[in-house]
Structure 1
């Protein structure tokens, strides 16, 4: 993910994903969780934060608990958790750069 503010965006993902990477680097941070690697980087160019063609999706164990956590953190929710016809319960929200993030759960 490219951003103008690596620390702000990395701290958001560390908080939301409950991961600590031991870094506060303002140019590049890699966040690891099991088999997933999320890298947040500032390549020096100015970003417009109109990330309308990208979204990230994460599977979580308890989407209702995650929703409550995000609300308490003041995260801007796009769609509240809702059971979908295909059996997943989905929700969406914005990260600080306004990328769309989806959480989904299959244990309803």
Structure 2
């Protein structure tokens, strides 16, 4: 069994999708305001509006991405104007991590492994 996709519910599908398209460097060719699918390698990120009101207090889920260089991504994120939770920090186990909020206040972690 494989996880087929990760889905984010949003009242602002276009805005959140545009953020992830910029962040991931992907153009899905869509500007749909109800449902967008963004595919990176074999993972699908779906952003959709199920017509329920979202409070954007997303405290029970996070997304984590492994990247080549956390510091490069950190600088890109500053240019996107995101709210940083934790700046890049080297962990005792050899990973370099950072975290930030996406536009809907989902917590996003980035990590890279020091070689």
TM range (shorter): over 0.9
Note if 1:43 corresponds to 2:30. Answer: no
Counterpart in the other structure of 1:3: 10
RMSD: 0.8
Q: What is the deviation of 1:93?
A: 0.2
TM-score, normalised relative to structure 2: 0.91
Q: What is the deviation of 1:107?
A: 3.5
- Aligned residue-pair number: 108
1:54-73 map, 5 Å: 54-73=61-80
Runs of 4+ in structure 1 deviating by more than 2 angstroms, as ranges, are none
SS in 2 for 1:38: strand
What are structure 1's unaligned runs of at least 5 residues?
A: none
1:88-107 deviation digits (Å, cap 9, x = unpaired): 10000000010000010014
Greater share of strand: 2
TM-score, normalised relative to structure 1: 0.97
Note if 1:80 corresponds to 2:57. Answer: no
What are structure 2's unaligned runs of at least 5 residues?
A: 1-7
